[in-house]
Structure 1
Amino acid sequence: MAPSPQRLHRSNTSDERERVSLLLKVARMYYEEGATQAQIAKHVGYSRPTVSRLLTEAREEGVVHIRITHPLERAMSIEKALAEKFGLIGARIAESKVLGNLTQNVARCAADYLIETSPEDSVITVSNGFAVNATIEAMPRMNWLASRVIQAIGSVSNEEVQVDASETCRRLAGQLGGRHIALPAPLVVSAPEVAYSLIQSQQVAGILHYAATADTALVGIGTIEDRKKGYIFDGYVEEETSAILQRDGAVGHICGHHFNAQGEHIVTPLCARTIGINLKQIRRLPRVVGVAWGEHKLDAIRGALRGKLVSVLITDRATAEALLED
C-alpha cells in the first residue's frame, strides 16, 4: 500500500531538515571552528570527499555566504567618498578605535602617504603645529639627498620649539636626508611697514617664492576655538582683528591666515603683519597635504575643504564620517 501524501510530505520535510542540519553542522565546523575536512569526516561519519561535496552544497544553496573584507577596505571606501565629495586628489584615514595613540595613528598615515607618493627630489614647504610635528616624528629615515624642505611661514617665539616652523622644516629635511631652507623672519611683526621691508628683502623674498612654487605643502589646520598650548596668535590678535574674525565667521587658519566656513580668506590688520605664504599661493600649489582630526576641528577642516585650501586630507575615521554626513 502506497504511503499517503501527508506521510510522504512529513517524510520529505524531515529528510530535508536533517540534510540542512548536516550542512549547517559541517559548515560551522569548517568555517567557524577551523576544522579540517578530514576531522569533520571523522566526526560526522562520512568520507572526506562527501564532506567536500557538502561544503560545496552549503555555498551553492546559500547556507554559507563568503565575503572578503578587511577594515582597510572600509577605510579606502571612505577615502574615495571624501575625495569625490570635496574634489581631493587624495585622502588617508586612520582608524579611530584601534590600539595605540590616535595622534600617532593619523601621523603615521600622513608620513606613509608622503613617502609613498613623493619623488626623491621633492620640494616640500612646511608649516608649524602639533599635527605637522607628529607627522615628522612618524617619518622613517630616508636617503633623499636631492629633496628640499622650505619653511612656509615665519617663526613664533612663544610657541613650543619642537612645533615651530623653523624646527619642523629642519627636522623634516633631516628625516628625508635632504636640505632645509629656513625663513629668517618671525611669523608676525609689530607693524605692516616692518613686514613689507622684510618681505621685499632679497633673502626672504627668494625663500617665500621658493615655498610658493614647491611640489607639496605639509600643513596643519588650526581652529580659532582651540586656544590651548601652541596657539600661534597669542599676543598678536588685537581687538580690531578679533572683532573682524568674529563678525566674518572665522572657523580656522592655515599658515597664519584665517578663513570662514566656505574657506574664504578673512582679511584683517593681522594679515599685513604676517610673514609667510598666503592662502592664494597655497591654492596654487600642486598638492597641499592637510593633517587634522577631532570633533573640535570639524568646522575648520570643513572650511578648508570647501575653500580648496587642501587637496589631500589625512584624518581619522570618526572625523571623516562626520564630514561625509553633511
Structure 2
Amino acid sequence: MQDINIRNEYTKVAYYYYKLGMTQDEIAKKMSTSRQRVNRILKKCLETGIVKIVIQEYDNQNVDLEIELETLLGLNEMIIVNNADGEINEFLGAAASSYLERVLKANDIIGFSRGRALSSLVQNLRPMDKKNLTVTQLVGGLNADESHINSDYIVAHSSEVLNAKPCFMYAPIILENKKLRDSLMNESFFSSVYDVMKSCTIAIVGIGDMSDKSNFVQKNFISKSESYILQSKNAVGEICTHYFDVNGKIIDSGLNDRVLSIDLQSYKSIPIRIGVGCGPEKLSSILGAARGELINVLITDFKTAQALSEML
C-alpha cells in the first residue's frame, strides 16, 4: 500500500511539473513539502520510468552522429544535413543560413570567403531585426565565370538582406607578386578594410581542397613552385588561402605573400568560425581544418559526416 501511495505522489509531482508547467517551488508549496524533495522525486520519476522523455523527430535527425563528431573533431557544434534529391549546396546553404540566424546578434561583424554553399546561404537569408551589422570580405575577388560565388557578390547581397554595412576589397584575391601586394597594403583604404576583417565576430568560409574541382587548381592561380611545395608537404586543403595538411599544420608555400586575404592569426581570433562543405574530395580538408582549429562549427551532409566518422 505504501508503494502505491509513493508512486501516486511521484506521478502527481510529474504531472504538475511536466503537464501543467508548474515550477518546483510552486509544487512544493502546493504539496506542503520542500523544493529539495520535489527535485529528488522528479529525478526518481526518470530513473524508475514513471516519466519517459521522448524527443520528437529524433529518429529523423542525426544528433548522435553530430555529437560524436563534435567530440572527435573538437568542434563547438556540428550540423548534418540529410542528403536529398537536388543540389546539395542548396541544402547546406539553407542550414548555414538557419545557423547564422540563431547565433547572430546586434553589432556583429560577419566575414565571408567564397563558394557555392555560401552563395546559397545568401539566397536563403531572411531579414533580421539585428542592429548595427557589418558584412565584409575575408578574401579578395576571383575572376571566375561564376561571379555569384565570389566573396564580393556574397557580401553585396547579404548586406542588402540584413540591412548591414558592406565592406568591400575591390581587388583580386591573388596578385602577380609580393611587391604589388605590399604596395596595395600600404594604401589607407586597404588598411581600413583589414581593420574591419580583424574585428570579425563570425566567419563563414568554404573549405577548399586539392582536387581537380578546386578553382585555384582549375584556373592555375597557383604557380608551379607554389604547387610543388604544397604537394611535397602533403597539403590537403585551404581556408581563406591558408593551406594546411591533414593534421591542420599550416604550409608556407609563398602564396600568401601575394594574396589579399585575412591573416591567419586574425582569422583564428574570430570567435565563431563556420566551415561549410561536403563531398569525398573534401574529407581530408575538413579533417585538417578541424584539427587546425580553422573551424569550430561544421555544416556538412550526412554522407560526408558518416565517412568522417569511419575515418576517425
Task: Give the SS at the match of 1:104.
Answer: helix
Does residue 172 of structure 2 align to residue 174 of structure 1?
no
The match for 2:64 is 77
1:302 maps to amino acid: L
Partners of 1:291 and 1:313 within 8 A in 2: yes
Does residue 207 of structure 2 align to residue 225 of structure 1?
no
Query: How far apart, in 2, do the equivalents of 1:288 and 1:68 lie?
Result: 29
Partners of 2:216 and 2:222 within 8 A in 1: no
Partners of 1:185 and 1:198 within 8 A in 2: no
Instruction: Give the CA deviation at 1:73.
Output: 6.3
Task: Give the SS at the match of 2:286.
Answer: helix
Does residue 310 of structure 2 align to residue 307 of structure 1?
no
Instruction: Give the CA deviation at 1:77.
Output: 2.3
Instruction: Give the CA deviation at 1:150.
Output: 0.9
The match for 1:106 is 92
Does residue 293 of structure 2 align to residue 293 of structure 1?
no
The match for 2:82 is 95
Instruction: Give the CA deviation at 1:132.
Output: 1.1
Partners of 1:220 and 1:254 within 8 A in 2: yes
Aligned pairs (5 A) from 1:105-254: 105-227=91-213, 230-231=215-216, 234-254=219-239
- In structure 2, do the counterparts of structure 1 residues 217 and 117 end up closer, same or farther at CA, with 3 Å as the change threshold? same
Instruction: Give the CA deviation at 1:160.
Output: 1.9
The match for 1:48 is none
Instruction: Give the CA deviation at 1:106.
Output: 1.6
Query: How far apart, in 2, do the equivalents of 1:179 and 1:69 lie?
Result: 40
Cα deviation, 1:113-154, whole Å, max 9, x if unaligned, reads 000111133210111111211111121233435110011111
* Greater displacement, 142-151 / 240-249: 142-151
Gaps of 5+ in 2: 1-52
Structure 1 runs of 4+ with >6 Å offset: none
- In structure 2, do the counterparts of structure 1 residues 116 and 232 end up closer, same or farther at CA, with 3 Å as the change threshold? farther
Instruction: Give the CA deviation at 1:214.
Output: 0.6
Query: How far apart, in 1, do the equivalents of 2:59 and 2:108 lie?
Result: 28
- Greater radius of gyration (CA): 1
Query: How far apart, in 1, do the equivalents of 2:277 and 2:178 lie?
Result: 31
Cα deviation, 1:236-263, whole Å, max 9, x if unaligned, reads 2111111101100010111122111111
Partners of 1:156 and 1:232 within 8 A in 2: no
1:87 maps to amino acid: G
Aligned pairs (5 A) from 1:18-33: none
Task: Give the SS at the match of 1:250.
Answer: coil
- 1:272 alignment partner, one of 257, 266, 279: 257
Instruction: Give the CA deviation at 1:185.
Output: 2.1
Gaps of 5+ in 1: 1-65
The match for 1:43 is none
Cα deviation, 1:14-57, whole Å, max 9, x if unaligned, reads xxxxxxxxxxxxxxxxxxxxxxxxxxxxxxxxxxxxxxxxxxxx
- In structure 2, do the counterparts of structure 1 residues 233 and 309 end up closer, same or farther at CA, with 3 Å as the change threshold? farther
| RMSD of aligned Cα (Å) | 2.2
Instruction: Give the CA deviation at 1:99.
Output: 5.0
Task: Give the SS at the match of 1:197.
Answer: helix
Partners of 2:202 and 2:273 within 8 A in 1: yes
Q: Paired residues, what number?
A: 260
- In structure 2, do the counterparts of structure 1 residues 204 and 68 end up closer, same or farther at CA, with 3 Å as the change threshold? closer
Aligned pairs (5 A) from 1:35-46: none
- In structure 2, do the counterparts of structure 1 residues 161 and 99 end up closer, same or farther at CA, with 3 Å as the change threshold? closer
TM-score, normalisation: structure 2: 0.77
Partners of 1:132 and 1:291 within 8 A in 2: yes
Partners of 2:212 and 2:218 within 8 A in 1: no
Query: How far apart, in 2, do the equivalents of 1:227 and 1:112 lie?
Result: 27
Task: Give the SS at the match of 2:169.
Answer: coil
1:314 maps to amino acid: I
Query: How far apart, in 2, do the equivalents of 1:136 and 1:179 lie?
Result: 15
Partners of 2:119 and 2:154 within 8 A in 1: yes
TM-score, normalisation: structure 1: 0.74
Query: How far apart, in 2, do the equivalents of 1:216 and 1:74 lie?
Result: 26
- 1:258 alignment partner, one of 222, 226, 243: 243
Cα deviation, 1:247-299, whole Å, max 9, x if unaligned, reads 00010111122111111211112210011113332212111111001112111
